[in-house]
């Protein structure tokens, strides 16, 4: 029985990190619904303005793309970066009009290999993604590299103690203390402020990292 449970929880963890296939379509819906409040708070904290170039890195179900598109007005561009081919394919269908107009660009990439030139972004968000990283310092260095001076990236993470109580997190999640994430962003040259978001059932932390 434990073998069946282990396989089920491994599948859930794998889908959360890389939604794909038939199950991935359901996971996209769950991600949009469950993460919407945290993503909306991250967008608000990133302060994207009219005509800016912004990104949602690891956009999953795509709700962050919608929220960013609503903020940049004509002249701005939203980049959606996502390693899952199935999620990019889904987004191409959902956002066909925005892609055709050039307001949205979808990119294959990851936090440790972002598809941008140096100082390309005014702002970025990445929510519930760093659990799937092996090299956090490399990811933080990439985020600092692609930000313009004065730009901000908002890293959203579930509270590690609360996340550790979830049954699937031992099956592929790396849960780091908040202070460790702050230290990695700071070491990359970013200035970090924190906000807490009571977000039942999982409280979240927003780490707002600005480039001087």
What is this structure's pTM? 0.91
Per-residue confidence (pLDDT) for residue 7, from 0 to 100: 77
Per-residue confidence (pLDDT) for residue 19, from 0 to 100: 76
Per-residue confidence (pLDDT) for residue 35, from 0 to 100: 85
Q: Which domains does the chain have, with CATH numbers?
A: 2-211 (3.40.50.150)
Burial of 44 (0-12, 13-18, 19+ CB in 10 A): middle
Per-residue confidence (pLDDT) for residue 27, from 0 to 100: 57
How confident is the chain (212 residues) per 10-residue block, as mean pLDDT?
A: 66 70 62 82 96 96 96 94 94 97 97 98 97 96 98 97 91 95 98 90 93 96
b/e 93-109 (16+ beta carbons within 10 angstroms → b) = eebeebbeeebbebbeb
Per-residue confidence (pLDDT) for residue 17, from 0 to 100: 67
């Amino acid at each position: 029985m434990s073998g069946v449970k282990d396989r089920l929880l491994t599948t859930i963890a794998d889908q959360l990190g890389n939604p794909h296939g038939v199950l991935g379509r359901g996971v996209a819906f769950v991600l949009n619904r469950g993460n919407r409040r945290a993503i909306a708070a991250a967008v608000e904290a990133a302060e994207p303005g009219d005509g800016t170039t912004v990104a949602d890195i690891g956009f999953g179900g795509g709700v962050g793309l919608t929220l960013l598109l609503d903020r940049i007005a004509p002249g701005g561009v939203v980049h959606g970066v996502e390693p899952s081919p199935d999620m990019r394919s889904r987004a191409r269908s959902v956002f066909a009009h925005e892609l055709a107009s050039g307001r949205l660009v979808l990119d294959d990439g990851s936090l440790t290999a972002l598809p941008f030139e140096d100082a390309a972004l005014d702002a970025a968000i990445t929510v519930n993604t760093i659990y799937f990283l092996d090299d956090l310092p490399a990811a933080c260095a990439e985020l600092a590299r692609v930000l313009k001076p004065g730009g901000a990236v908002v890293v959203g993470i579930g509270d590690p103690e609360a996340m550790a109580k979830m049954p699937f997190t031992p099956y592929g999640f790396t849960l780091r203390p908040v202070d460790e994430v702050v230290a990695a962003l700071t070491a990359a040259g970013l200035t970090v402020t924190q906000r807490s978001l009571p977000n039942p059932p999982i409280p979240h932390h927003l780490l707002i990292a600005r480039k001087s």
